[in-house]
Structure 1
């Protein structure tokens, strides 16, 4: 039975100061910390607010040149700088590729909010497209998968003594 849908915009305004229940931080292989939903979600559901200091795009770019941060979200003429960890979850949502993406950022008034783009299963990691194609993990995803498989194969065949030199060589190829 479907639950009654609340207006997503109105719901987002209720959660400006704190995160709603039903999410948890987890550690994901090859990604680090991320967020998963602890309850099923429906397409169009409000998920989380991306909180941080609201600054101009120009100021955000200046800060990025001074010290790069993966926690600045640029949207039109604005930047939300979530570099300082305030304990909110949305800043921990990982980047996903086309088939993995299950949520999207939208502007709701003066808040940047995350909404489900498809039904999300209980326990599923939240993933959205960061919008930049220049991230190293986009261009080298296949190579990263090969490295992981090679390391796994070496570990399974007890040839771990050559794993470290091979890993260093492969990392030099990526970076």
Structure 2
């Protein structure tokens, strides 16, 4: 049996999330594509992903309430949508992904009807990282989407000339939820 190598064990999804979060980079298998002027860009798969797989991190500066309020005054509405609110160790925090940095997580769109991923907080070196995990199998070419939450996001109720349907069925924009 010389020459046969043992199969390398696949990392568990949480271990994979920790690895990519600690490296501050996206894993392969995704591309950013322009969708339309209403939705903007989105993230699409170029590989198959299974239910439970780690997909991508929503990466940016982790800030407190004081920094959040200061940045809100500086940002126009187009950048405010990149502020992701969450709780970690009893504290209210935000990830500010407003800076265009080629990370893909900031481009994942909302879908409150049929999301295919969800956010989980992963801790790396005692710091929170917001990571997306598949909630069902995802085929190559599919857009990655998650539910931004129960807020009344305006695009869910708008009708545009491009969509001709209520936006609640289109589920698009790069707004962020509080988990």
TM-score, structure 1 normalization: 0.74
Q: Which residue of 2 aligns with 1:107?
A: 121
User: What is the correspondence of 1:84-163 to structure 2 with a 5 Å cutoff?
Assistant: 84-99=99-114, 101-109=115-123, 110-140=128-158, 143-144=159-160, 148-149=163-164
Report the alpha carbon displacement of residue 39 of structure 1 after superposing the two structures with TM: 0.6
Separation in 1, partners of 2:65, 2:147: 19
Separation in 2, partners of 1:148, 1:81: 29
User: What is the correspondence of 1:12-91 to structure 2 with a 5 Å cutoff?
Assistant: 12-16=17-21, 17-29=24-36, 30-67=38-75, 68=77, 69-76=80-87, 77-91=92-106
Give SS of 1:39's match.
coil
Report the alpha carbon displacement of residue 130 of structure 1 after superposing the two structures with TM: 1.5
CA gap 1:51/1:120 in 2 versus in 1, 3 angstroms:
same
Separation in 2, partners of 1:93, 1:23: 11
CA gap 1:133/1:144 in 2 versus in 1, 3 angstroms:
farther
Bigger relative contact order, structure 1 or 2, given CA contacts below 8 A and separation 6+?
2
| Displacement over 6 Å in runs of 4+ | none
Query: Number of matched residues?
Result: 144
CA gap 1:133/1:63 in 2 versus in 1, 3 angstroms:
same
Pairwise CA RMSD of aligned residues? 2.2
Q: Which one of 8, 15, 27 corresponds to residue 10 of structure 1?
A: 15
Q: Which residue of 1 aligns with 2:168?
A: none
**Preserved CA contact (<8 Å) 1:57 1:74:** no
Report the alpha carbon displacement of residue 60 of structure 1 after superposing the two structures with TM: 1.8
Unaligned runs of 5+ in 1: 151-175
TM-score, structure 2 normalization: 0.72
Separation in 2, partners of 1:7, 1:106: 14
Q: Which moved more, 1:107-116 or 1:4-13?
A: 4-13
